[in-house]
Amino acid sequence: MPWKNNSDQEQRWGFVKLVLRAKICLAELCRRSGISRKTAYKWIARFKEGGRRGLRDQERSARRLHNRPKKKWFDRIRRCKGQPPGWGAPKTHWLLKRRFVRIGLPSIAAIGRWLRRWGLTRRRRACVLKGGTILRPALREARHPNDVWTVDFKGWFRTGDGTRVEPLTVRDLASRYILAFNLMPRQNVKAARLAFEGIFQEHGIPLVIRSDNGSPFGSTGALGLTRLSAWWLKLGIRVEFIEPGHPEQNGAHEQMHRVYKAENLNPPAASVRGQKRRTRRWRREYNHQRPHEALGMGLPGDHYRKSRRRMAERLKPWKYPQGWESRLVKGKGMISLQGRSRFVGEALKRSALV
């Protein structure tokens, strides 16, 4: 009779009994039972080895994986993942290779699989493809330190005592080195300029500063400038603005903000003083202890060098070609042209515009 699908151990036992007392060849018996000779030999061998218990269903998974890491590596991965918790598989692999011998070290892919299985990492959201857009002039490529600095105000937060904090962040794009992470009480042009004066005195000035279009960096006036970005231009720094609604054009800077939030604001410190102390320690670790994948797992501090361009102590007046007419920009950003008042932006107030 054919092999039935609704039985397992009893069917196998019945077939083995037929084999033990059969007077016909095994091939004919297999044909009548509707099974292959390979299957028949398998159940006969299992019966000889384990009796009727050997006819039970067995696990299909291998008892031992030849490339499965040893338990000590699982413990090391868990410990390294927790210091700090925001590190993924590449940085965890780098840290394991630095602390321990390379013999038996799991690959980056294997570490990533185990971290996902333990629920210690989250899958990234799939990127949504969008239609074509009209792009601005291409942004400058940062090949060397101080070619491009990226600046931004991270979203404000409150410390444990309720004090509002506005973090101003400045980073060198080529080396990923954090130049400043200032926790400021307010977000305006005056406070930002004082902060940048200190940054320029310490690190020099870059060729390009890149920012978003929001205050205090960008405006709706002439060329999108504010008094702060107009001051940068007068220092000989080119100003670049990313497209509105496209923070991915400054994605490396935004990613740094996410790391800071995950490792320093859950929860924030009890006071501004404590948060500043925590931020200084985190910035030092980010620059000199934390490897960066974009640098081939190098440290930002090993790649950054201060700029040779120094900030001018006195700014020279604007110069225009001969024959151009100039107008004085009034306090509210207005000029008088052909008998009519026109708005050109407060960034150029009290200066001559041609």
Domain range annotation of the chain = 9-55, 71-117, 148-303, 317-354
- Residues above pLDDT 70, as percent of the chain: 86
Q: What is the pLDDT of residue 211?
A: 92
* Alpha carbon separation from 92 to 86, 95, 259, 281, 291 (Å, rounded): 10, 5, 15, 20, 10
Provide the CB-side half-sphere exposure for 166 (13 A, CA): 13
CA-to-CA distance for 193 and 312, rounded, in angstroms?
A: 14
User: Quick one: which of 143, 139, 203 has its CA closest to 175?
Assistant: 143
- Which of 60-69, 241-250, 313-322 has the largest mean confidence? 241-250
pLDDT exceeds cutoff 90 at 193: yes
Token output for 85? 């918790």
Q: What is the pLDDT of residue 133?
A: 44
Between 257 and 132, the higher pLDDT residue:
257
Residue 263, Cα to own-chain centre: how many angstroms? 13
128 pLDDT tier (thresholds 50, 70, 90):
very low
Mean pLDDT of the region 149-156: 92
Q: Is 167 helix (H, G, I), strand (E, B) or coil?
A: strand
Q: What is the pLDDT of residue 134?
A: 44
CA-to-CA distance for 146 and 329, rounded, in angstroms?
A: 33
Q: Where are the alpha helices (DSSP H) in 34-170?
A: 37-50, 71-81, 89-99, 108-117
The topology under which CATH files domain 148-303 is Nucleotidyltransferase; domain 5 (3.30.420)
Q: Is 149 helix (H, G, I), strand (E, B) or coil?
A: strand
112 pLDDT tier (thresholds 50, 70, 90):
confident
Average pLDDT, the chain: 83
65 pLDDT tier (thresholds 50, 70, 90):
low
342 pLDDT tier (thresholds 50, 70, 90):
confident
Q: Has domain 71-117 been given CATH number 1.10.15?
A: no
Residue 135, Cα to own-chain centre: how many angstroms? 24
